[in-house]
Chains A and B, each alone.
Chain A
């Protein structure tokens, strides 16, 4: 799908590729509710400026998704932005109180919760690089920054994740250095 998209084009795109786009939005935003808001914000951008869609619509929508996430699109509602963090803390506390025996599943969930605490740009880079499996060059092109910026953001993000993970001693694991 190329050229200026209409509302019907977007409806069709969501019908065909909506699940994948929604997954990306959730990964970036941290939870489903925030993911819906993020995808809606990206759709609003496309509807507002359809002439800016020079490539395929899905590619453009994804680019907007990532850039909105990297720019902290929901800066207005600070309390809403904090909700995932509060939920994460409550959930982490519940996990600890439940007996501590953190298995691999808990580890994964804990890491996702920790991911929400990273600055938006680092979070977007981490999701692009390590979940979407994009190269540094692809990530840089999507976010409109240099490869050096991607490299340093990924490195800082992973380092911060390890540091944050260190504040969860009850999880009982030790993270190996990544190969970023």
Chain B
């Protein structure tokens, strides 16, 4: 029997698609998914912090002079007070380089992976693929530890057993010309891929992007204090008593952000620095429950703590035998 492939194919596709109808609420689902996508991108950038955050953005502390008005309700005053103090504490501890900020991110149904951004930024890679160009398997870690000190950001992804899965860093390097540039380098161990991209002419202190109430989850992009303050000013949080977190009788700030889900921030009442941030949401078409937990530590830059940071940098050698990604990619690590 001899038949024409194209005709048969055409008939087959006609049969496959016959009676197709658009499901109800498809546009609503698309809108919701867009919101969740924004959150995911923010979460990825929060953990990866990209170029701008690696540069420890300097944000003017315009809100520090804003005192709550006496006519405002007591609860608002308290939140505003916490916000102001937290903002000041973060600015002093992190952004003025007085502390090494260490965060440990983990979660339920929340793997951590790598996303390679092309030259046109995140919009060219909308699906946050968890994959690197040329990698045939996803690189997924169970938890991620980030070190941030001055302009250095080091991110390490670990398996549940504590094995290093990936390392990703942003940091200033000095070029032969004497100029300082920003470099993004790292390795994904399961797939034997490494990257080393140099950004010439990039400011180490770019201006902070304008935040909106729709930006969702507070993150370290462009800075924890900017996003937390924005979230508070948008009315996302209210004070919800005290809870012990890691041995600290922390102030609990509970929030229901516009993107849906819930978020809780615990603040140390002695230092007003964040202790933990959790965000829960229902993501994806199947509305899967996801929880992201970020634990904060702010270490004084003592010799011992700086040695620990250097040990983390040295912990992950990047074998020259690994395949090198083209320079056009920037690699972000984070929740995916």
Question: What are 26 A-to-B residue pairs whose CB atoms are below 8 Å?
Answer: A10-B27, A14-B22, A18-B22, A19-B22, A22-B17, A26-B16, A36-B23, A39-B22, A40-B33, A43-B26, A43-B30, A44-B37, A48-B34, A76-B127, A108-B15, A109-B12, A109-B15, A110-B12, A111-B5, A111-B12, A115-B12, A131-B10, A131-B14, A162-B5, A172-B1, A180-B6
Digit string of A69-81 for contact with B (CB within 8 Å is 1, else 0)? 0000111101000
Q: Which 4 A-B pairs have the closest CB atoms?
A: A108-B12, A18-B22, A23-B17, A112-B12
A142: chain B residues within 8 A (beta carbon): none
CB atoms of B26 and A108 under 8 A apart? no
Interface residue B150 (Cβ < 8 Å from any Cβ of A):
no
> What is the interface of chain B mostly: helix, strand, loop, or mixed?
helix
Considering only CB atoms, which chain A residue lies closest to B113 in the complex? A76
B31: chain A residues within 8 A (beta carbon): 7, 44, 47
> What CA separation (Å) do A131 and B1 show in the bound complex?
23
Within 8 A of B (CB), among A8-35: 10-11, 14, 18-19, 21-24, 26-27, 31-32, 35
Interface residue B321 (Cβ < 8 Å from any Cβ of A):
no
Digit string of B31-70 for contact with A (CB within 8 Å is 1, else 0)? 1011001000000000000000000000000000000000
Interface residue B323 (Cβ < 8 Å from any Cβ of A):
no
Within 8 A of A (CB), among B3-25: 3-6, 8-17, 20-23
CB atoms of A130 and B9 under 8 A apart? yes
CB atoms of A32 and B20 under 8 A apart? yes
CB atoms of A161 and B20 under 8 A apart? no
* A35 in complex: contacting residue of B15, B20, B131, CB < 8 Å: B20
Within 8 A of B (CB), among A103-126: 104-105, 107-112, 115, 126
In angstroms, how far is the closest chain A Cβ from the Cβ of B12? 3
CB atoms of B20 and A23 under 8 A apart? yes
> What CA separation (Å) do A1 and B33 show in the bound complex?
25
> What CA separation (Å) do A104 and B34 show in the bound complex?
43
Interface residue A168 (Cβ < 8 Å from any Cβ of B):
no
Interface residue B71 (Cβ < 8 Å from any Cβ of A):
no
A21: chain B residues within 8 A (beta carbon): 22
CB atoms of A178 and B5 under 8 A apart? yes
B4: chain A residues within 8 A (beta carbon): 176, 178
Interface residues on B, range: 35 or more
CB atoms of B33 and A44 under 8 A apart? yes
> What CA separation (Å) do A21 and B20 show in the bound complex?
9
* Max chain B C-beta neighbours (<10 A), residue from A130, A162, A165: A130
B37: chain A residues within 8 A (beta carbon): 44
CB atoms of B9 and A76 under 8 A apart? no
* B9 in complex: contacting residue of A7, A40, A131, CB < 8 Å: A131
* A75 in complex: contacting residue of B10, B12, B131, B285, CB < 8 Å: B131
Interface residue A174 (Cβ < 8 Å from any Cβ of B):
yes
In angstroms, how far is the closest chain B Cβ from the Cβ of A78? 7
CB atoms of B127 and A73 under 8 A apart? yes
> What CA separation (Å) do A73 and B128 show in the bound complex?
11
Given A14-B27, A44-B30, decide whether A107 and B285 contact each other with a Cβ distance below 8 A: no
Considering only CB atoms, which chain B residue lies closest to A42 in the complex? B30
Given A47-B30, A112-B12, decide whether A26 and B2 contact each other with a Cβ distance below 8 A: no
CB atoms of B13 and A7 under 8 A apart? no
Given A43-B27, A47-B30, A73-B127, decide whether A127 and B2 contact each other with a Cβ distance below 8 A: no
Apart from the given pairs A109-B12, A109-B15, 12 other A-B contacts in the complex at a CB distance below 8 Å: A11-B27, A14-B22, A27-B16, A36-B23, A40-B33, A48-B34, A76-B129, A111-B8, A111-B12, A131-B14, A173-B3, A175-B3
